[in-house]
Amino acid sequence: MGYPVSQETAATPAMLLVTSERFADHHTPSGHPERRERAVVMTSVAEQYRNSGGTVVEPSAAGHDALTRVHAADHVDRIASTGGHRVQLDADTHASPESDAVARLAAGATIAAVDHALDHNGRACAFVRPPGHHAERTRAMGFCLFNNVAVGAAHALARGTSRVAIVDYDVHHGNATQWMFYDDPRVLYVSTHQYPFYPGTGAATDVGVEAGAGFTLNVPLEAGAVDADYDCVFQQAVIPVLDAFHPELILLSAGYDAHTRDPLGGMLVSTAGYTRMTTRVQAAADAHCGGRLVAVTEGGYDLTALENCLTETLRVMSRPTSSPAQTDAGSSERAEAALKIVRLAQAPFWPGL
């Protein structure tokens, strides 16, 4: 399929894709789900986008200062020390000889995407690996070395942005992204995720602390949630809170492992369901941010589902925002159960929910 690439207009902000073939140079052990073939898929989709007239650029590596806005210096140094070696960092997180350089490129791609969004009132995608939202301030975990989205959010704040929203629809809760901004009212973190599930965080009662109280919105969903469940929580919780927060930039942690084909998650979201969620987030960016939206890849371990979702994300973000397609018939029981506890937890902060 082709992409409706157009010149920048008020209806269609400028769109940029940031990625690199070098993301295949981060190697994990045989049989590991976060494998180099994921990068091959990203490169293939990017090439199709370029051939259709889309703009694709190579990233530069994130520097020490950009990384240490969210990570401890000794963590950055520890990842750097893995250069040239194969190192197991935790039970399922590995570094290979090129992983430090590749992870710095992933964070740098996110920074480049954020700069494009801020400089051009535009949209940008960063197709990167390794993913980032489990990488905490002081440790790598959950396949993640550096927290790409958090680096991007902190970069936006350093540039003077006052309100950044992060929407995370990966099947896993982004524990590290949550904790990095847990007391910061400038960053709204919103997550829909399977619960209970790895990494064990993301209860509805995790709402932030001190000045950041109310600026973490967790929507924990029981395994087996379908498109209708996700669409329900987006319409009744995610979008209303985004509307009330009125962000100046939205970052999307675009994890596609809630897909029904994914081998790790237990959710039943279709490609169309992901398209619908992306469209709703994009509409919020149009309404509040002048179209400033950045999508950064996280999980997604079935290669067919990954390819389809990446293609759809580019298609949606390369065209004027339209109304989301009608949700297919399905259960919303899991959504209603989640919304009940979310409203109780968030009532002091977002009384309109």
Q: Tell me: the pLDDT tens digits for 94-125?
A: 999 999 999 999 999 999 999 999 999 999 99
Is the residue at 4 inside a domain? no
**Which residue type is seen at 335?**
A
Task: Single out the catalytic residue among 134, 173, 193, 259.
Answer: 134
Mean pLDDT, rounded, for 321-329:
77
Distance from C-alpha of 143 to C-alpha of 137, rounded to nearest angstrom:
15
Q: What is the pLDDT of residues 250-288, one digit of tens each?
A: 999 999 999 999 999 999 999 999 999 999 999 999 999
Residues 298 and 168 sit within 8 Å (Cβ to Cβ): yes
Is the residue at 352 inside a domain? no
Helix, coil or strand: residue 119: helix
Q: What is the pLDDT of residues 134-189, one digit of tens each?
A: 999 999 999 999 999 999 999 999 999 999 999 999 999 999 999 999 999 999 99
What Cα–Cα distance (Å) separates residue 350 from each residue in 243, 244, 287? 11, 8, 19
Is the residue at 38 inside a domain? yes
CATH number at residue 73: 3.40.800.20
Helix, coil or strand: residue 133: coil
Q: Please state, for a pLDDT cut of 70, what percent of the chain lies above it.
A: 95
Name the band, by pLDDT with cuts 50, 70 and 90, for residue 6. Answer: very low
Residue with tokens 């051009």, as numbered in its chain: 120
Average pLDDT, the chain: 95
Name the band, by pLDDT with cuts 50, 70 and 90, for residue 3. Answer: low
Q: What is the pLDDT of residue 324?
A: 82
Q: What is the pLDDT of residue 325?
A: 75
Identify the DSSP state of 269: B
Residue 11 has pLDDT above 70, yes or no: no
Instruction: State the distance between the two ends of the chain, measured CA to CA, in whole angstroms.
Output: 39
Name the band, by pLDDT with cuts 50, 70 and 90, for residue 7. Answer: very low
Say if residue 342 is exposed, middle or buried (CB neighbours under 10 Å; 0-12, 13-18, 19+): buried
How many domains does the chain contain in total?
Answer: 1
Residue with tokens 């309109």, as numbered in its chain: 352
Q: What is the pLDDT of residue 14?
A: 81
Can the peptide bond before residue 33 be classed as cis, meaning omega within 30 degrees of 0? no
Residues 167 and 188 sit within 8 Å (Cβ to Cβ): no
Active site residue 193: no
Is the residue at 353 inside a domain? no
Residue 93 backbone dihedrals phi, psi, to 5 degrees:
-120, 125
Distance from C-alpha of 346 to C-alpha of 352, rounded to nearest angstrom:
10
Please give the residue range of the domain that contains residue 180.
15-346
Q: What is the pLDDT of residues 39-74, one digit of tens each?
A: 999 999 999 999 999 999 999 999 999 999 999 999
Identify the DSSP state of 212: G
For 146, the token pair is 């550096």
Is the residue at 97 inside a domain? yes
The distance from CA 58 to its chain's CA centroid, rounded to whole angstroms, is 19
Is the residue at 51 inside a domain? yes
**CA angle at 152 for the pair 148 and 158, rounded to the nearest 5°:** 145
Residues 72 and 112 sit within 8 Å (Cβ to Cβ): no
Mean pLDDT, rounded, for 306-327:
92
Identify the DSSP state of 325: P
Q: What is the pLDDT of residue 326?
A: 73
Is the residue at 167 inside a domain? yes
**Which residue type is seen at 11?**
A
Is the residue at 3 inside a domain? no
Distance from C-alpha of 257 to C-alpha of 309, rounded to nearest angstrom:
10
Of 332, 312, 333, the closest CA to residue 322 belongs to 312
